[in-house]
A = this chain, B = another copy of it.
Amino acid sequence: MKELVERIKKDGQVLGDGVLKVDSFVTHQVDAELMEKIGERFAEVFADQGITKVVTIEASGIAPALYAAQALKVPMIFARKAKSLTMAEELLTTSVYSFTKQVTSQISISKKFLSEGDTVLIIDDFLANGQAAKGLVELCQQAGATVSGIGILIEKSFQDGRALLEEMDLRVVSLARIASLENKTVEFLEEDA
């Protein structure tokens, strides 16, 4: 997506260690207009897939997932990273290992919101090692739901997340694909949509 790629070129910051910081428009301060365009793009790409739910994980995935859900006229669900007091009922739960934080955490979705009849579009802001997306896929599988595809804002194509998901026969659509962050410079591959 040209607008996202241009925005990364303009406002993304490359730190050491393969870290791309987009906290001025995605992960901390959020540009609602850009998120709406991104959500609408995902909705276009998956328009004929019979999507019934858009699923993401708190917190940075919420904005693009929300606009995608709105454009597709379906509910959005965000998986929680910790059990909350009011989630005492039955949960779909799995473990996600974060290479960045080097911790394993639980993510959960209430069973009542996903079922066999659902066709799910998963949305997340980053795809690196693919662990978060894989966790979301596992929650959908536990519910017996079908995952129609995975929409990603920024794919770190030099890490193995995309391969991991494609080996699971999942369709990955990334709006920006980054070949390299070496020498503090962002090199792009051609994006999927």
CA distance A85 to B102 in the complex (A): 11
- Chain B residues lying within 8 Å of A69, measured Cβ to Cβ, are 30, 32
Q: Give the number of times this chain occurs in the complex, counting copies.
A: 2
Q: Mark A72-104, 1 if CB is under 8 A from B, else 0.
A: 000111101000111110000000000011000
The answer on a CB contact under 8 Å between A85 and B19 is: yes
Instruction: Type the 1/0 row for A32-73, where 1 means its CB is closer than 8 Å to any CB of B.
Output: 110110000000000000000000001100110011011000
A19's partner among B77, B86, B101 (CB-CB below 8 A) is B86
A105-136 with Cβ < 8 A to chain B = 109-110, 112-113
- 6 inter-chain pairs at a CB distance below 8 angstroms, sorted by A residue, are A23-B86, A28-B87, A32-B67, A33-B70, A62-B62, A85-B100
Q: Is the interface of A mostly helix, strand, loop or mixed?
A: mixed
Q: What mask results when residues 1 to 40 of chain A are scored 1 for a CB within 8 Å of chain B, else 0? A: 0000000000000010001010110011111110110000
In contact, A113 and B28 (Cβ under 8 angstroms)? yes
Q: How far is the CA of A21 from the CA of B62 in the complex (A)?
A: 20
Q: Are B113 and A29 in contact (CB under 8 A)?
A: yes
Give the 7 A-B CB pairs with smallest separation, nearest first.
A32-B70, A58-B59, A59-B59, A62-B62, A30-B76, A21-B86, A29-B77
Partner of A78, one of B28, B35, B85, B100: B28
Distance between A110 CB and nearest chain B CB, rounded to angstroms: 6
Cα A63 to Cα B36 in complex, Å, equals 12
